[in-house]
Amino acid sequence: AQKITQTQPGMFVQEKEAVTLDCTYDTSDQSYGLFWYKQPSSGEMIFLIYQGSYDEQNATEGRYSLNFQKARKSANLVISASQLGDSAMYFCAMREDTGRRALTFGSGTRLQVQP
């Protein structure tokens, strides 16, 4: 069974600094996708970034990058130049491409950006 672990329930970062949110996963599948979502206090889940298991390059989307280390089964999210609007819950998720097609989510990390 697949599992996502986020070991940081809460993180603080100063505005304009970079922050890394940790995510490790467990799967026996060779083909899978890894996702990060942001959930602000409004409750909406916002898709941030995707990494495929066969992608050789780390994914980047603007200020977001995914540090993918396949052998270690980690998919950490790096947010550069943090902004106050980045304060939110962040969820790491995985989708196995050969089994259940739904996302399995980690427990989330609450990020607070301080001015």
Q: How far is the CB of 73 from other proteins (least distance, A)?
A: 19
- Distances from the Cα of 8 to the Cαs of 24, 42, 48, 57, 107, in angstroms? 11, 21, 19, 25, 9
Half-sphere exposure of 89 (CA within 13 A, CB side): 14
**Binder to other proteins among 19, 91, 109, 113 (CB under 8 A)?**
91
- Distances from the Cα of 67 to the Cαs of 7, 11, 22, 27, 109, in angstroms? 16, 18, 9, 18, 16
Candidate ranges 10-18, 21-29, 47-55, 73-81; the one touching other proteins (CB under 8 A): 47-55
**Binder to other proteins among 35, 53, 68, 109 (CB under 8 A)?**
35
Closest to other proteins by CB, 72 vs 101, is 101
Q: How far is the CB of 63 from other proteins (least distance, A)?
A: 17
**Binder to other proteins among 1, 72, 102, 115 (CB under 8 A)?**
102
Nearest residue to 6 (alpha-carbon basis) of 85, 97, 74: 74
By the criterion CB under 8 A, which residues form the site for other proteins?
33, 35, 37, 42-47, 50, 52, 91, 93, 95, 97, 100-108
